Amino acid sequence: MPLKIRLARGGSKKRPYYTIVVADARSPRDGRFLEKVGSWNPMLAKDDAKRVEVNVERVQHWLDNGAQPTDRVLRFLAEAGVGQRDAKSNPEKAKPGKKAQERTAERAKKIEDAKAAAAAE
């Protein structure tokens, strides 16, 4: 049975609250789980101690038994000193889209044409 350490959403509409759970990878996000090992309240300030709470001993137990944390949970575990998350880099994501590149090229061409017309006069 492949195990995941992941987030299960709770809370009301526009007021999210997540519990960090150990669940079978095939079960639904908010469905059946084996154990609650922490919580995350994104509504609290980033420097608040209660924003992320993790039971480090139980998480370590599940990691030793083969559970795989999701990327978001791995961030929390890295802050708690349990896991290590490699920094990711996607330089393509920062580039503007195709239409924006076309508009930029069009503006540059118009400016160039205006300079050429001004120089010809």
Q: Are residues 34 and 66 in the same domain?
A: yes
Whether 74 is covered by a domain: the verdict is yes
Whether 86 is covered by a domain: the verdict is no
CATH number of 21's domain: 3.30.1320.10
Q: Are residues 41 and 72 in the same domain?
A: yes
The pTM assigned to this predicted structure is 0.71
Q: 11: which 2 tokens? A: 């809370």
Q: Are residues 61 and 99 in the same domain?
A: no
pLDDT digits (tens, 9 = 90+) for 85-118: 887 788 888 888 999 999 999 999 999 999 988 8
Task: Tell me the pairing of strands 15-24 and 52-54.
Answer: unpaired
Which residues are 12's β-sheet partners?
Answer: 15
Three-class secondary structure assignment of 84-98: CCCCCCCHHHHCCCH
Q: Are residues 103 and 74 in the same domain?
A: no
Quote the pLDDT of residue 91: 83
Q: Are residues 24 and 52 in the same domain?
A: yes
* Number of domains into which the chain is organized: 2
Higher local confidence (pLDDT), 62 or 81:
62
Q: Containing domain of residue 36, as a range?
A: 3-80
Quote the pLDDT of residue 60: 94
